[in-house]
A = this chain, B = another copy of it.
Amino acid sequence: MDRRQKKTREAIFKAFTELLAEKNYNQIAVQDIIDAADIGRTTFYAHFETKDYLLKDLCEELFGHIIDTAMGLPHGHYHYSCGTETDSVFLHLLRHLQENDRNILELLACQNNEIFLRYFKSNLKKLIMIQYADKGLLQNSKLPQDYLVNHISSSFVETVEWWLSHKMQQTPEQMTEYFLSVIEPILRS
């Protein structure tokens, strides 16, 4: 990709992220992003058709990255103690979040975080399907599988949200324990 394109694209993402940390999504004008990114008006519209598409692209880049690394795909950054059986993907995810990779925390904690949480949840579902379906844990229950998957991913997202609202004072290990103690009893039923 053209060096210039990449540069402006990231400048827009950066400006947008910073604005989201202080303002509501609805209250951010395209003009604000243009000013903050210090680019020409034409340039923005050359990259993104509209503000909504910008958000969509940002989310895909963000959560694609997060989920990929959680699934152990190579990404050239330090891999914690993954590989251990007891180390759940969820602990890995929480550590990843704590590291605040790509300023994702600002976005998850900002107003209108529903937008990001929705993407987060959507990507989590895929992850959970892979993680649990193989082991047959989703079959044991009397509940419909998609209800269960939805419940698990929602619960994880809520756990993250709760963690953020408590300023992440708990350790990732502690949060994993909370989450698992709310989820595991159901899988055994």
Contacts and interface: CB of A to CB of B under 8 A. Distances in A.
Contacts of A8: none
Contact of A155 (B118, B142, B146, B151): B151
Contacts of A144: 178
Interface stretch (A14-22, A32-40, A85-93, A180-188): A180-188
22 contacts: A26-B52, A141-B181, A142-B181, A143-B178, A143-B181, A144-B178, A147-B159, A147-B162, A147-B178, A150-B158, A151-B155, A151-B158, A151-B159, A151-B182, A154-B154, A154-B155, A154-B158, A181-B189, A182-B186, A185-B185, A185-B186, A185-B189
The 3 lowest CB-CB distance pairs between A and B, nearest first, are A114-B114, A185-B185, A154-B158
Interface of A: 26, 52, 114, 118, 141-144, 146-147, 150-151, 154-155, 158-159, 162, 178, 181-182, 185-186, 189
